Amino acid sequence: MPPIVETRDLRKVFRTVKRVPGPGGALKTLFSRERTERVAVEGVTMSLEAGELVGYIGPNGAGKSTTIKMLTGILVPTSGEIRVAGLVPADERKRNARIYRRRLRAAQPALLGSAADRELRAPARDLRDPTRDVQAQSR
């Protein structure tokens, strides 16, 4: 069975125009267009199997959020390859979203777990509806 998430030599570089300070800076910036590059992600290679539980940790600015955005198709990598459930996230994002939703619905019974797991999540549901306790007491 192929990996559910696979990346190879993932790289993301953000390019911005270097701004010139001062009153005439905007005009100078308009014509000079000196660019700066900031590497957000470099050389990320991973392979995750279905059902595998992983943590993605690192210091601020390490590229964790940028990597997740590339995995979901929100950002397009500068170079490297990504496959999630056999799809390239940045290609045809709307079509991929429909496929992801279908696959998630199919997997939901396994994700929901046992009745005990649902009970553990019950307090979180109560937090979303602060009027729930008030409604229960008034009955």
Q: What pLDDT was estimated at residue 23?
A: 75
Q: What pLDDT was estimated at residue 10?
A: 96
Q: What pLDDT was estimated at residue 87?
A: 85
Angle at 67 between CA 61 and CA 68, to 5 degrees: 110
Distance of CA 96 to the CA centre of its chain: 14
CB 101 within 8 A of CB 72: no
For the chain (length 139 residues), average pLDDT per consecutive 10?
A: 92 86 73 84 94 90 92 92 89 76 70 54 51 52
Spatial separation of the C-alpha atoms in residues 90 and 77, rounded to whole Å: 8
Q: What pLDDT was estimated at residue 137?
A: 52
Residue 86 vs residues 5, 77, 81, 99, 100: alpha-carbon distances, Å: 8, 17, 12, 11, 11
Name the CATH architecture for the domain at 1-91: 3-Layer(aba) Sandwich (3.40)
Q: How much helix, strand and coil, in percent to the nearest 5, is found in the chain?
A: 40, 25, 35
**What residue segments make up the domains of the chain, in order of their start?**
1-91, 92-139
95-126: b (≥16 Cβ within 10 Å) or e:
ebeeebeeeeeeeeeeeeeeeeeeeeeeeeee
Q: What pLDDT was estimated at residue 122?
A: 55
